[in-house]
């Protein structure tokens, strides 16, 4: 039987599936639905005739069917949250001549009373798991995993594979990429996948700490080391991370005298607290990140060449968003769901024109800028569907140039517009506005003063 004939023979498929599974869906290689069983349609409360040809993500929440036809990897007995409950889902790719032509997905929710009992038990376990996970994150310091690096483009897929390969060892890693590309997510992921995952993950932003405080912040100090030093001294970030991982973000901003001290830590596995006469041994994995051209800085004697080779045992490059445009629509849906849940506003989708505009824009601020724009769109939208008029003007016109305005200026302009619109909507009731914006009243007053917003 030909593929198309089989997929379109609903009578045959119904007779097979309705008595065996509680829900069956078949998608083609594009992720479009070619068949959905009556049971599944009733469960989802959709009409079978209307879902055929729709992309599976528009019909089934939290689905992964469209990913299975891309990866070719089956997913068995996976818990899927669907219509307020968990169901057991299986997803299997269909191959012909070693080529993926479709995928079949099944769900189980039969024996409703038993399922409700099991579902309640699962929810209870997941709730308990989330509690301990959050508690562990507070102690451990790591809050991102590789699942937070959203995207299916070739560059992101290859990056994830690299992370999986190098995480288990103690090799130093240098993460490079433009601002806003997600370097911190990669650092967290390496730690979580390493043998040090049960120990602390400590982040230090080398560019945000004043130069005269950086040494004591990293290596701590002894009592009486300087005027104002705490009684008993203070441990530094390296000692705090002992046994775990330290992430030095913006390492290119580290002053040269501190580069020398960092080199000693990497070479000798020891350091000296400020004011101490003795060295202390340290066992810590060092991950660094920068968006600065270190090679050029070495030529200009601004960065030590020997330190560069120490931190550069493995380099990971994060591509800018403009080089992975195929991920934009996936990221947009991800941030829409995340932001609408946080803001508690029902916004479910975008006009196709909005997605098209976003895919054409170069995103100089990368993922961070994209997330800020989506946040603003949700606040500004009066409907469930985000329309083009909610986009910032520079996006609609596509005339903005990187050298003309900084990302901060763009974000501040968008933030001002959002606050003004919300204030007008609640007749300048600042308490209601603060609640709608998800910020404290004092923070709102500061923003109103900063942007000189008047009623």
DSSP string, 46-83: --HHHHTTSBGGGTSTT--HHHHHHH---EEEEEEEET
Helix (H) or strand (E) holding 140: helix 112-140
What CATH number belongs to 3-109?
A: 3.30.450.20
- For the chain, what percent of residues have pLDDT higher than 90? 42
CA dihedral 349, 352, 354, 355 (to 10 degrees): 90
CATH of 146-317, one of 3.20.20.60, 3.40.50.300, 3.40.1350.10, 3.30.1490.100: 3.40.50.300
Q: What is the pLDDT of residue 233?
A: 78
Indicate if the pLDDT at residue 344 is higher than 90: no
Q: How far apart are CA 274 and CA 226, in angstroms?
A: 9
Q: What is the DSSP string of 141-184?
A: -----GGGS---SHHHHHHHHHHHHHSSS---EEEE--TTS-HH
Least confident of 85-89, 258-262, 281-285: 85-89
Tell me if 146-317 shares its fold with 323-451: no
For β-strands 173-176 and 270-271, DSSP reports them as unpaired
Report pTM.
Answer: 0.60
State yes or no: pLDDT of 405 exceeds 60.
no
Query: What pLDDT, on the 0 to 100 scale, is given for residue 281?
Result: 92
Q: With the C-alpha atoms ordered 203, 295, 303, 269, is the resulting torsion angle positive or negative?
A: positive
DSSP 198-223: TS-EEEEETTTS-HHHHHHHHH-B-T
Please report, rounded to a whole number, the percentage of residues in the chain having pLDDT higher than 70. 84
Q: What is the DSSP letter of 315?
A: E
Q: Say yes or no to pLDDT of 4 above 50.
A: no
DSSP classification of residue 318: P
What is the model's pLDDT at position 112?
A: 45
Query: Is residue 412 predicted with pLDDT exceeding 50?
Result: yes
Angle at alpha carbon of residue 307, lines to 294 and 277, rounded to 5°: 135
The DSSP letter of residue 398 is -
The structure tokens listed for 130 are 């989330």
150 CB-near residues (< 8 Å, 6+ apart): 327, 330, 331, 334
Long-range CB pairs of 89-95 (<8 Å, 24+ gap) are: 89/64, 91/64, 91/65, 92/68, 93/68, 93/69, 94/26
pLDDT classification of 3: cutoffs 50, 70, 90: very low
**Which sequence spans correspond to the domains of the chain?**
3-109, 110-140, 146-317, 323-451
CB atoms inside a 10 Å sphere around CB 56: 26
* DSSP string computed for 254-274: S-HHHHHHHHHHHHHSEE--B
Query: Average pLDDT in the 142-163 region?
Result: 88
Burial class (CB in 10 A: 0-12, 13-18, 19+), 147: exposed
For residues 243 and 200, the answer to whether their CB atoms sit within 8 Å is yes
Pairwise CA distance, residues 105 & 65, whole Å? 7
Strand order in the sheet with 314-317: 201-205, 245-249, 285-290, 173-176, 314-317
How far is 183 from 190, CA to CA, in rounded Å? 11
Torsion, Cα 112 118 122 125, to 10 degrees, reads: 150
Q: Higher-confidence residue: 285 or 112?
A: 285
The pLDDT value given to residue 413: 77
Tell me the mean pLDDT in the region 223-247.
82
Q: Report how far apart, in Å, the C-alpha atoms of 317 and of each of 158, 174, 285, 299 are.
A: 10, 9, 19, 21
Within 363-440, residue ranges assigned H as helices are 366-380, 393-397, 407-425, 430-437
pLDDT of 20 reads 61
Tokens representing residue 63 in the block:
């689905």
Cα separation, 134 vs 195, in Å, equals 20
Half-sphere CA count of 310, side-chain side, radius 13 A: 19
* 71 contacts: CB under 8 Å, gap ≥ 6: 93
CATH pick for 323-451 out of 1.10.3720.10, 3.40.50.1370, 1.10.8.60, 3.40.47.10: 1.10.8.60
Could you tell me which residue, 186 or 135, shows the higher pLDDT?
A: 186
Distances (CA, A) of 54 to 45, 208, 297, 399: 15, 49, 52, 34
Structure tokens of 234? 């203070």
Cα-based torsion angle of the residue sequence 123, 126, 131, 136 in order, rounded to the nearest 10 degrees:
180
């Amino acid at each position: 039987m030909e593929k198309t004939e089989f997929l379109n023979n609903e009578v045959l498929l119904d007779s097979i599936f309705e008595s065996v599974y509680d829900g069956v869906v078949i998608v083609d290689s594009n992720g479009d639905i070619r068949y959905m069983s009556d049971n599944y349609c009733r469960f989802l409360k959709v009409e079978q005739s209307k879902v055929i040809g729709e992309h599976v993500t528009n019909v089934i929440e939290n689905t992964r069917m469209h990913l299975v036809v891309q990866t070719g990897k089956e997913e068995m007995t996976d818990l899927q949250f669907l219509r307020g409950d968990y169901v057991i889902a299986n997803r299997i790719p269909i191959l012909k001549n070693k080529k993926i032509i479709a995928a079949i997905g099944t769900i189980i929710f039969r024996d409703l009373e038993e399922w409700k009992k099991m579902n309640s038990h699962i929810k209870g376990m997941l709730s308990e798991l989330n509690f301990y996970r959050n508690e562990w994150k507070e102690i451990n310091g790591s809050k991102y995993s590789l699942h937070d690096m959203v995207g299916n483009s070739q560059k992101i897929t290859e990056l994830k594979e690299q992370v999986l390969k190098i995480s288990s060892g103690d090799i130093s890693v240098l993460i490079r990429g433009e601002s806003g590309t997600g370097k911190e997510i990669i650092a967290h992921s390496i730690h979580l996948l390493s043998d040090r995952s049960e120990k602390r993950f400590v982040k230090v932003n080398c560019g945000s700490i004043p130069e005269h405080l950086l040494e004591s912040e990293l290596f701590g100090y002894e009592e009486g080391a300087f005027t104002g030093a705490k009684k008993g001294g203070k441990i530094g970030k390296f000692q705090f991370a002992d046994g775990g991982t330290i992430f030095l973000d913006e390492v290119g901003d580290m002053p040269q005298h501190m580069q020398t001290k960092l080199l000693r830590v990497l070479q000798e596995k020891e350091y000296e607290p400020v004011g101490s006469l003795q060295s202390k041994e340290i066992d810590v994995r060092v991950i660094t990140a920068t968006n600065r051209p270190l090679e050029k800085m070495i030529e200009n004697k601004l960065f030590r060449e020997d330190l560069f080779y120490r931190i550069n045992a493995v380099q990971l490059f994060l591509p800018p968003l403009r080089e992975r445009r195929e991920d934009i629509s996936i990221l947009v849906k991800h941030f829409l769901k995340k932001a609408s849940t946080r803001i508690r506003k029902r916004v479910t989708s975008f006009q196709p024109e909005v997605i098209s505009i976003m895919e054409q824009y170069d995103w100089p601020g990368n993922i961070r800028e994209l997330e800020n724009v989506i946040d603003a769109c949700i606040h500004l939208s009066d409907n469930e569907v985000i329309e083009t008029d909610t986009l910032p003007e520079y996006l609609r016109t596509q005339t903005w140039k990187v050298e003309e305005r900084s990302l901060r200026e763009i974000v501040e302009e968008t933030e001002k517009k959002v606050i003004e619109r919300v204030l007008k909507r609640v007749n300048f009731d600042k308490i209601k506005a603060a609640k709608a914006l998800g910020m404290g009243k004092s923070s709102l007053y500061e923003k109103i003063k900063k942007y000189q917003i008047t009623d």
